[in-house]
Structure 1
């Protein structure tokens, strides 16, 4: 039987719901405002289509605000990783709302008619229709491109049938040729604001949208904010980002497909909290490439370390392209994955490369001490990287218990295994859980832990798989 210490630490998890709740509240109030004002001519079906289009513009504008990399946005959403996830959700939702807009809106474009004059189209109608086509198809293409890599999570029942299909290899080669890698996606994704601007101007040219000045100004504000933030991100944000110059000191192969980069500062070093991540800019044969990586070193170390798994084109070629002495630029830090926000009784769960933020915590224990008791569960395929280092840290800290799990020999680690080994069955409400690993694994753990009685505000996860 384990005795659980009272949770004297306070969890800051409720802050992560503040941002999404704010966005959803604004979207709800926007819809209520439009419904209260209503259409002037009683055409509610067409008005519903116009409202759907206006809501789509509002959500797309909010999505652009979330990727502005402003400190206030990161604080409000409890990390830019969560802001990026909500950016994707809002963008996809906005695209879904375009469907009723196209189906139900009247499609008239042009300047509002004067009193006593019939409504007509002309060049305004043609130009508005062209902008609508550009905005809708451009945003749809970017949305499909963004969610395509995650089709297995969205359609898990389809994955076994697709895997057995003989055309899969051909489709993969075709997609790589057509879509390219991360850098091509990132470059074209920057067109989001231009497509939004096209859709926004299309709405302004549609005379049927505005039955009152209230609706017109609400639409102007909703779309104008998004376009203003897009202009800021493309023209001025680079001058306000905290960037630090570094040099590659060592490139170490930790395990097959796993590389650790050690960087030394050239000038002012990066100051961070254990568990945070940073944007790492590395020079390659194709120019500078940027990726978000979790920092695996301690803040007081002489070098800055990133432990990188080969998951894409760039990360696969790091061992061959990056050499000691090459320049690097680090932006950040970012993220709110911090064990000091939990209770005095904690469980840490790492799956594969998800051990990275926990390495930073363990390496920083001299200056960022552990709570009363921590159980670290580390699941890996075969021999776990850093197992010896982690065991040495545990030997020096009696309140840390390490449970290493080889999934090839023992099967998948489950939440029931963790709760039983950690001895939390008597009062799971006093436990804080920190998770980092593949999204399906983390999602399964979160659901089971919630059912076991761990409060949602005390379950923390690092979203390292956001794009």
Structure 2
């Protein structure tokens, strides 16, 4: 495929006016409604309504959990439907939460006086395991999950000994990732519980077999990810060439290929396995270099877990394994008039874009870079802007200029909001605020793109 053809495909960011990234969620909604209608229409004669509704909630829970397992299968087609693996991961979390919440009315309403002992036994680890997994997953995102009025209470109790003890037991990213890999086993326990104890299945084969198909598909994708995916996804051997501190808490890591290098598009990210002094570490990182460089360049901010001590545990000569690439954060999906907004480490994919500009920039771009203090990449960005007249750079030092606001961006950009494409990367609260303001000003939803690096 030629570059022009690929760019043409990328610009088709909507189908019948619906953004690509919303097609998957729309399909999920229709499937959930259809499955619920099937349960109601196929209610067996004599089946108590409340018990049937309770079992319907259990069936919908397995549906959501099965789809969630499909979404983290790392298959390229899933990424295409959702407009990027980051969006797929977000919907994975949403569906897992929704599926776990549905267990509450299921437990309250569903009943079977002749339930099997095995079925009842399987229900316990399924419910406890899924609930624990959800709570553990949302703890780092408590600010976005709880109302602002409760933030002060959480902050006051965060340093109490019970909270510190729980945090020590839970550990960091690696421990959570290991526990998260058990998701499919908890879903399998819940699936078998329903298959053994659902009274509706005895006289209604359509409900039984639709349930079997739904649960079977989810568990098949789980088995693929855990057992087979490593044999199909390409992995590339690298070696750490340099670890360079760019600014306090910000590190560039240069990886030199030992064989065939990773082929990627500017703006994508990769899964990086690094051997450190503490053992092998795995984490997704945005690629900040150009595809045609002799090495793979990632820029890492100390946000927690092992990233905070990366300069101390990673040294030149250590091996690395890279898989991917992932993500569809691509400026070629946008219109001819674009706005780029980068906050903090959210600048990483934009650096890859800028470092990949060999020819004239085809779009007219206003690039807003906000950071506490002068951006460590300011000189490089301004030099690139001198070579590309259609690129206008706005550097905002929040320590002296205050926080960047949507009104400042819209006031500085002389263009019809309906013709704008906006690409954003940065802290989640900031990007949520900008999205609301941009939509209110007339920017089309299909033209607002952001990198959800916080899901990683």
The bucket for the TM-score relative to the shorter chain is over 0.9
CA positional deviation for 1:166? 5.7
**What's the CA shift for 1:207?**
4.3
Q: Distance in 2 between matches of 1:315 and 1:90?
A: 28
CA distance in 2, matches of 1:15, 1:56: 26
1:94-135, Cα deviation, whole Å (9 max, x unpaired): 01111110111114344xxxxxxxxxxxxxx22111111111
CA–CA distance in 2 between the matches of 1:356 and 1:171? Answer: 37
What corresponds to 1:449 in structure 2?
438
Q: Partners in 1 of 2:406 and 2:206 — Cα distance?
A: 52
Give the one of 278, 287, 305 matched to 1:313.
305
After TM superposition, give the deviation of residue 42 of structure 1 in Å: 4.2
Q: Is the 8 A contact 1:376 1:403 kept in 2?
A: yes
Q: 1:37-56 alignment to 2 at 5 Å?
A: 37-56=42-61
Q: CA–CA distance in 2 between the matches of 1:108 and 1:378?
A: 63
Structure 1 residues 97-176: aligned runs within 5 Å? 97-110=102-115, 125-155=116-146, 156-163=148-155, 165=156, 168=159, 170-171=161-162, 173-176=164-167
Aligned to 2:173: 182
Q: Is 1:429 equivalent to 2:418 in the alignment?
A: yes
User: Post-superposition shift, 1:168?
Assistant: 2.3
Distance 1:61 1:80 in 2: 17
1:208-231 deviation digits (Å, cap 9, x = unpaired): 132400011111111111111111
* 1:75-114 equivalences in 2 (<5 Å): 75-110=80-115
Aligned to 1:248: 240
CA contact 2:372–2:399 (8 Å) conserved in 1: yes
What are the residue-to-residue correspondences of 1:405-420 with 2, within 5 Å? 405-420=396-411
Q: Distance in 1 between matches of 2:269 and 2:281?
A: 16
Residue pair 1:108, 1:206 contacting (<8 A) in 2 also:
no
Alignment of 1:225 onto 2:230: no
Deviation of 1:407 (Å): 1.1
State the match for 1:12 in structure 2: 13
Whole-Å separation in 2 of the counterparts to 1:56 and 1:109: 22
CA distance in 2, matches of 1:366, 1:33: 56
Q: What is the match of residue 114 of structure 1?
A: none
Equivalent residue of 1:253, what SS? strand
1:342 is aligned to 2:334: yes
* C-alpha deviation, 1:171, in angstroms: 4.8
Cα–Cα, structure 1 residues 466 and 207, in superposed 2: closer, same or farther, change >3 Å? closer
Between the aligned partners of 1:455 and 1:161, the Cα distance in structure 2 is: 38
1:362-401 deviation per Cα after TM superposition (whole angstroms, max 9, x unaligned): 001115x523310000010112121110010011111000
Distance in 2, Cα, partners of 1:176 & 1:229 = 31
User: Over residues 147-180 of structure 1, what are the superposed CA-to-partner deviations in whole Å (9 max), with x where a residue is unaligned?
Assistant: 11111111133112332x2652535532331101
Q: Name the counterpart of 1:194.
A: 185
Aligned mates of 1:194, 1:97 — CA distance in 2? 18
Partner in structure 1 of residue 322 of structure 2: 330
The alignment partner of 1:228 has SS state of helix
Gaps of 5+ in 1: 1-7, 111-124
Please, what TM-score do these two structures have when normalized by structure 2?
0.94
Taking CA–CA contacts closer than 8 Å with sequence separation of 6 or more, which of the two structures ends up with the larger relative contact order?
1
Measure, in 2, the Cα distance between the counterparts of 1:298 and 1:255: 21
SS state at 1:376 partner: strand
Secondary structure at the counterpart of residue 465 of structure 1: helix
Is residue 36 of structure 1 aligned with residue 41 of structure 2? Answer: yes
Any conservation in 2 of the 1:109–1:207 contact (CA below 8 Å)? no
Q: Which blocks of at least 5 consecutive residues in structure 2 are unaligned?
A: 1-7
| Greater mean alpha carbon deviation, residues 203-212 or residues 388-397 | 203-212
- How much has 1:73 moved relative to structure 2? 1.0
> C-alpha deviations, 1:410-458, integer Å up to 9, x for none?
221111100001123xx21000000000111001000000000000000
- Report if the CA contact (8 A) 2:112-2:198 is conserved: no
**Whole-angstrom CA distance in 1 between matches of 2:312 and 2:245:** 11
Separation in structure 2 between the aligned mates of residue 334 and residue 202 of structure 1, nearest angstrom: 36
Which residue of structure 2 aligns with residue 465 of structure 1? 454
* TM-score normalised per structure 1: 0.92
